[in-house]
Amino acid sequence: MIIAIDGPAGTGKTTVSKILANRLSVSYLDTGATYRSLTLKALDKGVDLSNKDVLIDLAKTLNFEIKEDNFYLDGIDVGFKIRTPRIDRNISIIVSYPEVRKIMVELQRKLAKTGDFVVEGRDITTVVFPQAEFKFYLDGDTAVRAQRRYNEWIDKGLDVTLDDVKKDLVRRDNADKNRAVGALKISKDAKIIDTTNLTVEETVIELIKNVTKDEKRR
Q: 153 in a domain, yes or no?
A: yes
Domain contains 64: yes
In one-letter notation, the amino acid at residue 165 is V
- Asked, for residue 18, whether it belongs to a domain, the answer is yes
Range of the domain at 179: 2-201
Kindly report the number of other CB atoms within 10 A of residue 197's CB atom: 9
**CA-closest candidate to residue 182, choices 124, 111, 117:** 124
Q: Which helix (H) or strand (E) holds 201?
A: helix 200-217
Report which secondary-structure segment, H or E, holds 41.
helix 31-44
Residue 29 pairs with which residues in a beta bridge? 119
The answer to the question of residue 173 being in a domain is yes
Q: Indicate whether 131 belongs to any domain.
A: yes
- Domain containing residue 74: CATH number: 3.40.50.300
Written as tens digits, the pLDDT of the chain (218 aa) is: 999 999 999 999 999 999 999 999 999 998 989 999 999 999 999 999 999 999 999 999 999 998 887 899 999 999 999 999 899 889 989 999 999 999 999 999 998 988 899 999 999 999 999 999 999 999 999 999 999 999 998 998 989 999 999 999 999 899 889 888 888 999 999 999 999 999 999 999 999 999 987 655 45
Please tell me whether residue 132 adopts helix, strand or coil conformation. coil
Strands (E), 9-128: 27-30, 64-67, 70-73, 76-77, 117-121
The residue type found at 152 is: E
Judge whether 208 lies within some domain.
no
Q: Is residue 92 part of a domain?
A: yes
216 within domain boundaries: no
